Structure 1
Amino acid sequence: MSSSSSSSSSFVKNPGGIIKCKAAVAWGAGEAMRIEEVEVSPPLPSELRIKVFSTSLCRSDVTAWLSNAQPPLFPRIFGHEASGIVESVGEGVTEFVQGDHVLTLFIGECMSCKHCVSTKKTNICQQLGLERKGVMHTDQTTRFFIKGKPVFHYCAVSSFSEYTVVHSGCAVKISKDAPLDKVCLLSCGTAAGLGAAWNVADVSKGSTVAIFGLGTVGLSVAQGAKIRGASRIIGVDTNPEKNEKAKAFGVTDFINPNELEGTVQQVIKQMTDGGADYSFECIGDTEMVTTALQSCCDGWGVTVTLGVPKTKPEVTAHYGLLITGRTLRGSLFGGWKPKSDLPSLIDMYLKDEIMVDDLITHNLPFEDINTAFDLMVAGKCLRCVIHMSN
């Protein structure tokens, strides 16, 4: 597949009208996706309609798909890590025109609220932050329908559809030199890991780092720490096959908890003369957050949690871990202000300064999207890139 070969000539010639296209629809928690014909409404003011080019499966898609959260948000179209081409724009949108190449953003940036105008205090926009209700930010309704019945969105993106509608603040224009079937990973997982190392933890040269979970996010943390000059990067994972892959991203030591006589935190403390300078929880296991804290050194140890928990969302830790100087920080999208900062990551990718392609372990056609879910659940992939059929 050509990396970014697509043109406006392949668009559905229906600007401003309803588009009928294929989408992978989840009808219930854990149920296989069904490829359905959906109607995609035209963009309202401040919105874009995007022809999705490539979309990769993120662990958080799987977590939400398996969730029995109440009220149930089904039928639903998942997917949020995607690249595409603008098909049409709503009233008042001047930043984008038809044919622009874009990445979708699961958290947006309005550029004007108190949070957006803050320098580095936060990247969570007050207007376009994480959307959890399965609707559009604009008017709290959906743009997807099947035979007139509404279908819920996911993370204000829903990229498992040949066309989708997003708020203009939830997309960023990128260089047309960037291969759309690769850089889609920068709209979530890879950027999240790099940012956790650079923006949230601010890893320093010569420091020691422990990373719990060596999936796409964990490996991206590792390369971020390597680029910053960390002297020792310890990767923790129960899958021994991750060992060799991790070395390419900067991991110097690999620990499999299933092969230890003591605890992980005891081993890391022994390896690092009392604890790592930084630790990162990239699994989505709140009990592992405590382990990561215990693996940090007294005085200045920083633990960053990135994973989305599948169960037990509450974090518990003995106060002594914090009163002795450790810091626990949360990270959403690595602290990047998405519209402001992502173009610089694209530039780094085009200059071969960051690794993205090596995180793609599978390329699948849209019709095989359930295979991507099976591979992710079985722990047999890093990122599956799904190539749309239109």
Structure 2
Amino acid sequence: MIKRRLSSIHGHLNDDDGEAAVVRGPNQPFLIEQIRVDPPQKMEVRIKILYTSICHTDLSAWKGENEAQQAFPRILGHEAVGVVESVGEGVRELKEGDHVVPIFNGECGECVYCKSQGTNLCETFRVNPLKSVMQNDGKSRFSTKDGHPIFHFLNTSTFTEYSVLDSACLVKLHIHPDASTLKNMTLLSCGVSTGVGAAWNVANVQPGSSVAIFGLGAVGLAASQGARARGASKIIGVDRNPDKFLIGKTMGMTDFINPKDSPKPVHERVREMTNGGVDHSFECVGDAGVLREAFLSTHDGWGKTIIIGVHPSPQTLPLHPMELFDGRSIIGTTFGGYKGKTQLPDLAKACMRGVLNLEGLISHELPMENINEAFQLLKDGKALRCLLHV
């Protein structure tokens, strides 16, 4: 397991200390390496990672599926919970010892985007797969023992003992969780916030409404929990892996469709089950064909499709403009529409009250040294979220 070099989480890190799971090229195994982690500069924070988990976005970056993600060597990872080790000049809202959740879609609070109620993007710190260095000086805070840079990932880089982030990309947890609850907060960095937020903030699911969720990974299951919490009467889960149906039931799903069970298109089956189509569909796969089925599964006149899955293919939307004249709509969402620093603390409190089941989404727990095994579990479809102990 990655060594803990501090006598306590409130200690200070030597500039040349730290271990991380470093990947040196697409599809290359992760290597646990000794690295340098520089002190935080102006408006930056250095944190000790306590727990981190693996998302399909990490898997896609590891595979090199997107040319924008080709900066190597790199420290991947963007779901985590940690504690502040030190802060740079100008940081006021965070202090040493604070429990924090990294967010890949930051919030500076000052730009025209952050001040707008119409978006959760930030002008400077929005999600950007092209970005592999810090905003302050265009350099990395990670390096090998002999001084060669190791690149950042999605404003976060959490597969490491220590990480340096812009303060705009950290959310303070205004709660006092015990150890078992704290590790569950890891999922607020991406999966749960994205899925639940899509149901609450983007679709605005109402009591008695109907929902179809395409792709029953952690994000799709989180969307189901969000729809259930809002009182949806029918939640249809669509997936080619029937093993996911059992956990889908625990997350609020009422019906299931396996596309392999019938030659009839999924959207026709959904329409038959719902007298014309669902009110909301969620595409959580990142596949153009699945997106079209999700779109056609909604009811004409008012049906709304929310795109959550990341689409690495250059293929454009599989829609004809005239299909939108029937009243159906389609929209994409980043981070479930949440303004991270402003709104995520309330979601954390809802989780503490038991509104959402985070623990049920953690299918495996492993030490960081077993990260390659964890990636294989996700790649094989055997894991929802694998929590890594740092």
Query: Which category describes the TM-score, using the shorter chain as reference length?
Result: over 0.9
Structure 1 residue aligned with 2:356: 354
What secondary structure is seen at the aligned counterpart in 1 of 2:92? coil
- Bigger shift: residues 176-185 or 122-131: 176-185
Query: 1:345 deviation in Å?
Result: 1.0
Q: Partner letter of residue 76 of structure 2? A: F
Cα deviation per residue 1:194-253 (whole Å; 9 max; x = unaligned)?
A: 000000011111111100001100011111111111111100000010111100111000
Structure 1 residue aligned with 2:380: 378
Change (3 A) 1:334 1:7: farther
Alignment partners' CA distance in 2, 1:312 and 1:257? 24
Q: Partner letter of residue 161 of structure 1? A: T
CA-based RMSD: 1.6
What secondary structure is seen at the aligned counterpart in 1 of 2:216? coil
Query: 1:138 deviation in Å?
Result: 2.4
Is there any run of 5+ residues in structure 2 with no aligned partner, and where?
Answer: none
1:157-306 → structure 2 map (5 Å cutoff): 157-174=156-173, 175-177=175-177, 179-306=181-308
Change (3 A) 1:41 1:332: same
Query: 1:37 deviation in Å?
Result: 0.7
Q: Partner letter of residue 327 of structure 2? A: G
Structure 2 residue aligned with 1:115: 113
Query: 1:74 deviation in Å?
Result: 0.5
Query: 1:113 deviation in Å?
Result: 0.8
TM-score by length of 2: 0.94
Count residues in correspondence.
381
Query: 1:298 deviation in Å?
Result: 0.7
- The answer as to whether partners of 1:40 and 1:144 remain within 8 angstroms in 2 is yes
Equivalent of 2:52, from 41, 46, 55? Answer: 55
Query: 1:137 deviation in Å?
Result: 2.3
Structure 2 residue aligned with 1:20: 17
Structure 1 residue aligned with 2:74: 76
Query: 1:20 deviation in Å?
Result: 1.5
Alignment partners' CA distance in 1, 2:140 and 2:298? 45
Change (3 A) 1:114 1:32: same
Structure 2 residue aligned with 1:364: 366
Change (3 A) 1:131 1:336: same
- The answer as to whether partners of 1:100 and 1:173 remain within 8 angstroms in 2 is yes
- The answer as to whether partners of 1:12 and 1:19 remain within 8 angstroms in 2 is no
1:140-159 → structure 2 map (5 Å cutoff): 140-146=138-144, 147-159=146-158
Structure 2 residue aligned with 1:130: 127
Query: 1:181 deviation in Å?
Result: 1.3
TM-score by length of 1: 0.94
Structure 2 residue aligned with 1:3: none
Percent identity reads 45
Cα deviation per residue 1:32-57 (whole Å; 9 max; x = unaligned)?
A: 10111110010000000000000010
Alignment partners' CA distance in 2, 1:68 and 1:331? 21
Alignment partners' CA distance in 2, 1:40 and 1:314? 40
- The answer as to whether partners of 1:280 and 1:304 remain within 8 angstroms in 2 is yes
What secondary structure is seen at the aligned counterpart in 1 of 2:17? strand
What secondary structure is seen at the aligned counterpart in 2 of 1:329? strand
- Bigger shift: residues 128-137 or 270-279: 128-137
Alignment partners' CA distance in 2, 1:162 and 1:54? 9
Alignment partners' CA distance in 2, 1:337 and 1:13? 31
Query: 1:312 deviation in Å?
Result: 3.7
Is there any run of 5+ residues in structure 1 with no aligned partner, and where?
Answer: 1-5
Query: 1:112 deviation in Å?
Result: 1.0
Change (3 A) 1:283 1:242: same
